[in-house]
Amino acid sequence: MSEIFWIMRKLLSMPGYTLSAMVLIIILYLTLHPKPLPDIGSGLFEGADKVVHMLMFLGMAGILGLDYLRSPAGRYKPEPPRFIVLLAVVISSAIGALVEVAQGAINMGRGEDFYDFLADVAGAIIAGLIMMLTWKRVYCWWWNREQ
């Protein structure tokens, strides 16, 4: 178990916004590559791709917020900064919109889907709500402060 915390600490100690860049690269690969994963047949259930979109953009917005929190500017923000949370949601949603436009423009077997975009926005909004609820606890954990 201590190895997991060591790995987490190493990942979180990477230079600013490196985690956000890594998540963005993964999302771009998964959403723009014609066949990013092997075929799993008919899918897990109807709409499973929407759940995957929601989770990807929940992760994108969440990592943007976490990267801000661990930055020097976030060091002095024990309360959730509403503007930063909103910015993370807007940036993630904009990336979702651009991905859908790119899927339609690239024409590599992937098509744009408005419902994928709605799932992206839903994931980003859920991440924003989670950030608002957990900011102080994560802040105290990251900066080793008492609650």
Which amino acid, residue 28?
A: L
Tokens of 60: 């994108």
Q: What is the pTM of this model?
A: 0.84
Evaluate the CA torsion angle 58, 62, 65, 67 in order and state its sign: negative
| CA-closest candidate to residue 92, choices 57, 117, 51 | 57
Query: Quick check: 145 pLDDT over 70?
Result: yes
CA–CA separation, 22 and 108 (whole Å): 23
CA–CA separation, 114 and 137 (whole Å): 35
CA–CA separation, 93 and 95 (whole Å): 5
CA–CA separation, 124 and 87 (whole Å): 10
For 88-105, the pLDDT digits (tens) are 999 999 999 999 999 888
Helices 48-69, 18-32: inter-axial angle, 10-degree rounding? 160
Q: What angle do CA 60, 12, 18 make, to 5 degrees?
A: 55
For 66-77, the pLDDT digits (tens) are 889 888 888 888
Task: State the pLDDT at residue 13.
Answer: 77
Phi, psi of 78 (to 5 degrees): -70, -25
